[in-house]
Amino acid sequence: MNESLVQKDLRFRYKSFLITEKGLQVKHKSLLRSGEYLLAYENVGTRIYKDNRGIYGLLFSSTLLGLVSVLLYLLRNDGEGVDSSVYFFYSGISIILLILFLITYKRNFYLVKHGNVEAIEFLQNKPSQAEVNTFIDVLKATRNKFLLNKYGQINFGFTREENYKNLVWLANNEVIDNVEFNNMVNKLNLQMQQQNPHKMNFDFNLN
């Protein structure tokens, strides 16, 4: 089972993720900042949000200057008297802008909760897409097991409504689906009724 993931890229970004008993340990480092924190499983989402972002003005300018340099090269070959230094100047600027675009371009994706909040940023395809997907699958399974054990057990020290709110929280956070929720509510009603046979039984099932 993959319990850790280390990611690096050519922009000197470093990320490491470790699945622990209490939550997800995250370390990150770049040229300008670094940090480390432990993210509780309650704050770990299950939805993937992809984000491809770059300064496309750099790419447009690079392409435009590249076309200008090609035009100047053709004119020079036709004997139009274009100085070779002008051609090399535009070519050089085009290449520099292209490099800047590639450096600033980001292909990341995030593990988020409902509403795209509590985002955990991963580097896409680092070290490979398969390894990242496998790690996320293990993280989701560990997270769901932890939360189910913590909030999905009937606590007879709580009222029926308090136990029910825990089950609603599990459903809202995509730990359990509607079928599992209804089955757990039925179990809650039955066991609470057995503990308190003189109290009225309520049906909290989702339709």
Helices (H), 9-83: 56-77
Q: Write down the residue that tokens 């972002």 correspond to.
A: 53
Q: Assess whether 49 and 113 both reside in one domain.
A: yes
End of a domain among 74, 104, 134?
104
Domain enclosing residue 131, as ranges: 4-53+105-149
pTM assigned to the model: 0.73
**Structure-model confidence comparison of residues 160 and 32, the more confident one:** 160
What separation in angstroms does the CA of 142 have from each of 3, 15, 18, 88, 127? 10, 20, 12, 57, 22
Whether residue 84 sits in one domain with residue 12: no
16 and 42 part of one domain: yes
Residue 205 within any structural domain of the chain: no
98 and 176 both lie in a single domain: no
Residue 151: both structure tokens together: 């909030």
Provide the CATH number for the domain around residue 19: 2.30.29
pLDDT, tens digit (0-9, with 9 covering 90-100), for 11-49: 788 999 999 999 999 999 988 889 999 999 999 999 988
